[in-house]
Structure 1
Amino acid sequence: MLIAFFTNNYKPFVGGVPIAIENTARMLRRRGHRVLIFAPDYDGDVQDEPDVFRVLSIKNFNNTPFSLPLPLTLRPAYDLDTLSQVDVVHVHHPFLLGMSGLQLARAYNLPVVFTYHTQYEKYIHYLPFPQQMTAELAIRLSTRFANSCDAVIAPSSDIRKTLIERGVQVPVHVLPTGVDLQKFRGGQKDFLRKKFNLSAETQIVLTVSRLAKEKNISFLIRAFVRLCTYNSQAVFVLVGRGDAEDDLKALARDLGIANRVYFAGELVGKELVSAYKGADVFVFASTTETQGLVVLESMACGVPPVVVDAPGVRDFVHPGVNGFMVPEDGEADFAERVLTLLDDEALRKALGAEALKTARRWSLRQTTSKLERIYKSLSAKGQPRGKRERFIMLRELISYQFEKLLEEVDKLF
């Protein structure tokens, strides 16, 4: 099959969506399919890749690491007549290049799959617009966009439920991004110990994340303070970079634990695998994810996770079986669960072994097979296509403003 991906995030930007797209495209190509990727351009030396087509973009939009692609510049990047040969268009966002992908697919009567990677209403602080309005519009736009596609992929059952409650009526398939188990073989367990000159007795609590406000890493640091009261051997290692890094370092200093909190920066490839393999416990507190992919990666390395109860992890973290899960406001409970694992090696190994079994059930090979079946069912000749809508964003904005006007009028009477 010839498959066209349209995404607003891709390498070298580091995040869950680019990783999911890269991994899925690689596995589809291994299985004999050709995958075209239309993505933004970024600052610096962006490596050319076969079948990856960069679109002119506003780089570092609003002083963030994001690039804002300009869809009107898409045409020079690739001979779009080739889209007539495409079997399926897979869009990964409901605006910008996602909107371009939808419109081009409808022009050629091609099936469109939309993966709902992001709870957009929880990322509005990156935009220079009124937050309440932007959050409400993000929900309305993504719902209307989803209903213009032929199928929607939700990375978790909680997200599927949310989309249906919001009014998505096309088929919604639960399909997370799987873990490429081959990538997480090997590794050097002493990598972090050598990097930070840690003793063999030191216990390592690890998180891997973009260091950003919405990732709730301050929760992890505050929980680690509680842990330090009872455990003098543990350190907290953070892998990743982001605009909140300086604030997180300041928080660690203010709480008096800067000497036990280590910032490793971005790690990729075998260094990232080695970081996972060297950890005793993995921790994750984000409540904004549609899927906590890094949690699955840690489980693929046999490391038991302690997570905050949230939609992105409930499908694969089973408390007391392969990890622990605590309420969103439970810093003390979180610290206690991490301590339990650090203090009980037998329990840590048992939960780690179950975590590895779970990761194998969510392998990239398995999830890609399911994705193939979705593609093939939609590309069958004679299948009806979703409705063609133009100016989705503009129409939602006008509708929203009209409803707000009516609300204000109602208050007058």
Structure 2
Amino acid sequence: MTRTETVAAFTDLYLPTVNGVTYTIQLWRDRWRTHRSEMPVVYPEMNGYDPGTNEFPIRSVRAPLYPQYRLGLPAVPDGLETPDLVHVHTPFTIGFTGIRFARKRDVPVVASYHTLLDDRASQHVSGNVLDGVKRTCRLYERSFFERVDHVTAPTAFARDHLLETVDADVDVTVVSNGIDTEFFRPVDPTSFCERYDLPTDRPLLGYTGRHGEEKNLEEAIKAVTGTGMTLVLGGDGPARDVLEKRAAESDADVRFLGFLEREELPAFYSALDVFVFPSPVETQGLVALEATACGTPVVAVNAGALTDSVIQGETGYRYQQGSIGDLQWAITRCLDEQDRLSDLCRRRRAMLSVEHSIGQLTSIYDSLE
């Protein structure tokens, strides 16, 4: 078994964009430095971010359909030395560049399955063409992932999707992206509640993250309508205006907090009685893990990766998508069992940690020749 020291990360998503992929790469880089050696990263150049040590931006163009993202031109930057292994995080131009780079340098290549492309397709097309677009996405994914030596998937759901739905002939290991449990921990939320004028005399439910149609947040608004509970929504996104309109039309106490600084998140999670996560399109759902690490039980839709990330009766409860009654039942169960569930959430912190994930990655890396 070889000892892997330097791992080069290739990704089409990176800073200053903030999402689950960029968060994971940052966290893995930070921990890999203390665990083994360096993890240089190759990414598309974007305005507003200056590269640091061992960060290699390449020229980029605006991505179609997602103007906030950039597609890197397929070129390896100068100065990147041959690593012991390449890890590609996205199946686009820079992902393919990483595979070609690894093959030319005769080093192993691992890929992470962060995003289900066929799920994203339904955000842009519908009707008769949707099935054809999904089939194309799966053929594309199969072609990409069958070029690498090993794949990591953040949940069993994502692994099964790649093997069964995409029908890729690959070796896959479930490796959670992991979270920083030193940072995400139960804290005193008093000052946070005072800053945002949050009530303390009624159940407080919440969500933070992207406000997109695919996140299904209208179900959370419907669930608190007429209940006397308060729903707080952190984050922002293209669906925010519609969500604010829905909240204003309903008999629901919904507070829109806007984008929260990362330093505020432990207090946000700790302030909640229940974290509500109705999104059916997750490959892991890191915010559910962050809430759990802060001792807050999660109510999640029984779909996608949340069937793995939220353990029924231990870290929260799941509900059937579209059933507001079922969602309200799950919220009530969490409130009734809050002390027990919160204790079980805290006990799972070690399993959620990025250190646990890095240990698994190390075993995979070292096993590849």
Under a length normalisation based on structure 1, what TM-score does the superposition of the two structures give?
0.82
CA distance in 1, matches of 2:125, 2:310: 36
Matched position secondary structure for 2:307: coil
1:52 to 30, 33, 55: 55
Q: Greater helix share, 1 or 2?
A: 1
CA distance in 1, matches of 2:350, 2:221: 30
Is 1:372 aligned with 2:369?
no
Q: Which residue of 2 aligns with 1:27?
A: 31
Matched position secondary structure for 2:206: strand
Q: Which residue of 2 aligns with 1:88?
A: 85
Structure 1 residues 220-251: Cα deviation after superposition (integer angstroms, max 9, x where no partner): 222222xxx3x32x211111111111111111
Matched position secondary structure for 1:267: coil
Matched position secondary structure for 1:319: coil
Structure 1 residues 147-206: Cα deviation after superposition (integer angstroms, max 9, x where no partner): 110001111112212222233222110111112111114644124421332343143101
The alpha carbon displacement at 1:68 in A equals 2.3
Is 1:112 aligned with 2:109?
yes
CA distance in 2, matches of 1:188, 1:57: 43
CA distance in 2, matches of 1:60, 1:150: 28
Letter in 2 for 1:134: V
The alpha carbon displacement at 1:299 in A equals 0.3
Residues 180 and 63 of structure 1: CA distance in aligned 2, closer, same or farther (over 3 Å)? closer
Matched position secondary structure for 1:183: coil
Answer whether contact 1:122 1:214 (CA < 8 A) is retained. Answer: no
Is 1:180 aligned with 2:177?
no
CA distance in 1, matches of 2:159, 2:243: 33
Residues 270 and 119 of structure 1: CA distance in aligned 2, closer, same or farther (over 3 Å)? same
The alpha carbon displacement at 1:330 in A equals 1.9
Alignment size in residue pairs: 362
Is 1:14 aligned with 2:18?
yes
Residues 126 and 12 of structure 1: CA distance in aligned 2, closer, same or farther (over 3 Å)? farther
Residues 6 and 131 of structure 1: CA distance in aligned 2, closer, same or farther (over 3 Å)? farther
Runs of 5+ unmatched residues, structure 2? none
CA distance in 1, matches of 2:125, 2:332: 41
Q: Which residue of 2 aligns with 1:152?
A: 151
CA distance in 2, matches of 1:186, 1:301: 4
CA distance in 2, matches of 1:42, 1:215: 26
CA distance in 2, matches of 1:279, 1:11: 29
CA distance in 1, matches of 2:195, 2:138: 43
CA distance in 2, matches of 1:272, 1:185: 10
Q: Which residue of 2 aligns with 1:235?
A: 230
Q: Which residue of 1 aligns with 2:198?
A: 198
Matched position secondary structure for 1:49: coil
Matched position secondary structure for 1:181: coil
Structure 1 residues 372-405: Cα deviation after superposition (integer angstroms, max 9, x where no partner): 1111111x3xxxxxxxxxxxxxxxxxxxxxxxxx
Runs of 5+ unmatched residues, structure 1? 381-413
Residues 194 and 331 of structure 1: CA distance in aligned 2, closer, same or farther (over 3 Å)? same
Matched position secondary structure for 1:89: strand
Where in structure 2 are the equivalents of 1:170-319 lying within 5 Å? Answer: 170-185=170-185, 187-225=187-225, 229=226, 231-232=227-228, 234-257=229-252, 260-319=253-312
Letter in 2 for 1:278: A
The alpha carbon displacement at 1:132 in A equals 4.0
Which of the pair has more CA radius of gyration? 1
Matched position secondary structure for 2:313: coil
The alpha carbon displacement at 1:40 in A equals 2.2
Under a length normalisation based on structure 2, what TM-score does the superposition of the two structures give?
0.91
Letter in 2 for 1:58: V
CA distance in 1, matches of 2:200, 2:224: 20
Residues 88 and 277 of structure 1: CA distance in aligned 2, closer, same or farther (over 3 Å)? same
Matched position secondary structure for 2:334: helix
CA distance in 1, matches of 2:52, 2:188: 29
